[in-house]
Structure 1
């Protein structure tokens, strides 16, 4: 489990690998993970890029891949130079679903006692913005993984689906809950009950994805550029928490919290004016604010 691994605080230092691996693997640009590629991108290397890398299996989400993903996410979150993270896949698939080979022999007791898929939730606990750059298939667990991210940029060939019903099961990593919130009850029920897929344009119109970056599949350059823009234009950590709170609070409660945190951004304005940086808000540097 990724939560039990010891990580070094410095992103350029070595990380301890999964127990099953005999040797240490350095985490740096082009680090030699087995199932993912992790590196820094963007202006001044402020964007952490994680690319799912099981092309022969269409990036099926095996246990080892999720462990490595969590490891990279935690490292980027602890790196003060990284302000946003982009998660992407390949030209054919963002991720075609959970690895069925790992699931097919599991019993109810196996799933219940091991809390199967629980370690997938680490992505939802990130305090830095995570952007899914989706090209190709985002099916089942892949669709759920994309929806755990804060923003979805869907390439022109992206397709989304929750086809679990076709193999006699249901979404198990928040699919029914996030999909219903994203596209509404009617379309969500149609997708979950039929297993039908929707295109990038349909996803955008339904409110699930945003934009279709014109970039080669599997090369998330435009998404990294946009991630860097998010970092420098807004106060990402505060905004991120407020958007999440909108699902949990009433409009009145959420508006009160928004005003308080809006006021807090001005704690840095006077300092910026005195240093000639009044054109930019840097409220994400405020300490002591958690969500």
Structure 2
């Protein structure tokens, strides 16, 4: 894997871990770092050995927002021409399961990065928030959209308007975080979950992810059509034959992603 300036990538069998690696800056995201994260995710998405990807933060925290210095003097036309959030849109195109393991804080862009993942796991004492409103701005990399789709209009407005730090337990109750673990066990527990996921049929995981994402964005009838098409498509795979034969023979299936 190529040399990275702001991240670290580690492969453990079929699970890949991507660490945000600017611990001195509390993993604050700047444009070059986001570009590096997304490019690495795309590389892992195309890597045959990798079945599940985990995003984590090195040091004390997951990611404490964006780099303010980079934006302070910007004007609207510069931002429009720079189109800095287009790179974030590529995260949605990652086909493999993408898990976030959040400890410390995930603020602003850090929270948005977690929201771009398929599932968020967190340390029990982790905190989340969108403090942008306190700087006279608002989230721009999907925060208002992802949060609203995840927790509904009223909670989203309350949290975005206040800009306050939110306890992980509150977000767990709202269904945004799937599991809470003690911080010292977080990486190990998420890795165990990822390994279990990595033993499932990769094509089924991929088409389930696509169908679920369609369910969030499409009217029911159109979403159902996607589900049906993906269901049919899986019957062209060797893994479907293997899975059903293994079931009949009462043995464990060996899925190859073919």
Same fold (TM over 0.5): yes
- For residues 221-240 of structure 1, what are the structure 2 equivalents within 5 Å? 221-233=188-200, 235-240=204-209
CA 1:147/1:273 → structure 2, altered by over 3 Å: closer, same or farther?
Answer: closer
Match of 1:34, SS state, is coil
Structure-2 residue corresponding to 1:262 = 231
Aligned residue number for residue 147 of structure 2: 179
Residue 73 of structure 1: which of 33, 41, 51 is its match? 41
SS in 1 for 2:11: strand
Q: How does 1:33-182 map to 2 (within 5 A)?
A: 33-41=4-12, 45-90=13-58, 92-182=60-150
Q: State the match for 1:245 in structure 2.
A: 214
Specify the SS of the correspondent of 2:216: coil
- Is the contact made by 1:90 and 1:136 (CA closer than 8 Å) also made in structure 2? no
Report the CA distance between 1:274 and its aligned residue.
Answer: 6.5
**Contact 2:31 2:84 (8 Å CA) reproduced:** no
Per-residue displacement from partner, 1:229-281 (whole Å, max 9, x unpaired)?
11223521111101111022222332343234234334433356668796438
The unaligned stretches of length 5 or more in structure 1 are: 1-25, 286-291
8 Å Cα contact 1:163-1:191 kept in structure 2: no
Shift, 1:139, TM fit: 0.5
Q: 1:253 to 1:277 in 2, by over 3 A?
A: farther
Cα pair distance change 1:260/1:116, threshold 3 Å:
closer
| RMSD (Å), alpha carbons | 2.3
Given that residues 156 and 212 in structure 1 are in contact (C-alpha distance below 8 angstroms), is that contact kept between their aligned partners in structure 2? Answer: yes
Give me the whole-angstrom Cα distance separating, in 2, the residues matched to 1:227 and 1:208: 18
**Matches of 2:181 and 2:257, distance apart in 1:** 26
CA contact (8 A) 1:37 1:52 kept: yes
TM-score, normalised to structure 2's length?
0.89
Shift in CA distance, 259/279, structure 1 to aligned 2, threshold 3 Å: farther
What is the CA distance between 1:207 and its match in structure 2? 1.4
Select the structure that is richer in helix: 2
Counterpart secondary structure, 1:212: strand
Find the residue that maps to 2:112 and give its secondary structure: helix
Is 1:59–1:93's contact at 8 Å kept on the other side of the alignment? yes
TM-score (norm 1): 0.79
